[in-house]
Amino acid sequence: MNPSIAAVVLFLACGSCSLPRDADHTLQRIQEGTLRVGVIHHPPWVVTTRGEVEGVEVQLVRAAAADLKAKVAWIPGSESELLSSLHERELDLVIGGLSRTSPWKHQVAFSRAYYVDSTIVSSPTGARESSLKNDSVSVEVGDPAAADLRKKGAIPVSVAKLAGTRGLLAAPAWQLGLLGRAPSGLVLRTDERSMALSPGENAWLSWLERWLYGRQRSIPAMLRSVSP
């Protein structure tokens, strides 16, 4: 064979080897098939009530499945149950406001962050607090921001809803406008929202990351639309 032709053939062969591939052919199976999605109740990302599944990530997955001409099978459960099933390849995707810092990061694959969720301590005047020591700060019940407030010497005050709060409060940046607050203040914590996939399914991961990247700008509006 002509050396030049041989070089081209070798280049093309090596190039095709570098393309993302699925160890279990997940993307190929999902297309015009069924996407098996584990859903963890974590408003506003995933809301599972009375047998219904809603939330920002649910909307995103429905739209992604439509582009793949796939049906979606929703499987509710706890984080440990669903991520374990994902590791065993019994699911194709798990959603629920997951973070890339999850302790499961060595057992499953996490997509690149499609949204950075910032929790901000906001004052009624919009002024930035330089210190929170001994300050009372309202935070919704169950919000992990309460632990961050304690670390800064603040006194977290758990409330059912932040609406109507007059003093300092801790809330996600996207929620501040709904609360009548300026989107400014002391950044208390950031969480990189991600979705979990089975390890080794690189074509499926690559497709999903590209798809999510194209929807990043729409996430804040989606969050405001699903928030009560």
Distance separating alpha carbons of residues 134 and 156, to the nearest angstrom: 10
Reading the block at residue 93, the tokens are 């995707």
Query: What b-and-e string marks burial along 65-87, b requiring 16 or more CB atoms within 10 Å of the CB?
Result: beebebebebebbebeebbbbbb
**pLDDT score of 161:** 93
Cross-strand pairs, 197: 109
pTM reported for the whole predicted model = 0.84
**pLDDT score of 185:** 86
Regions of the chain short of the pLDDT cut 70: 1-19, 228
Distance separating alpha carbons of residues 227 and 4, to the nearest angstrom: 61
Distance separating alpha carbons of residues 38 and 92, to the nearest angstrom: 8
**pLDDT score of 227:** 72
- CATH number for 117-191 (one of 3.40.50, 1.10.3470, 1.10.150, 3.40.190): it is 3.40.190
**pLDDT score of 152:** 94
**pLDDT score of 13:** 45
Q: What is the domain partition of the chain in residue ranges?
A: 22-114+192-226, 117-191
Q: Which helix (H) or strand (E) holds 225?
A: helix 219-226
| CATH architecture, domain 22-114+192-226 | 3-Layer(aba) Sandwich (3.40)
Reading the block at residue 214, the tokens are 């194209």
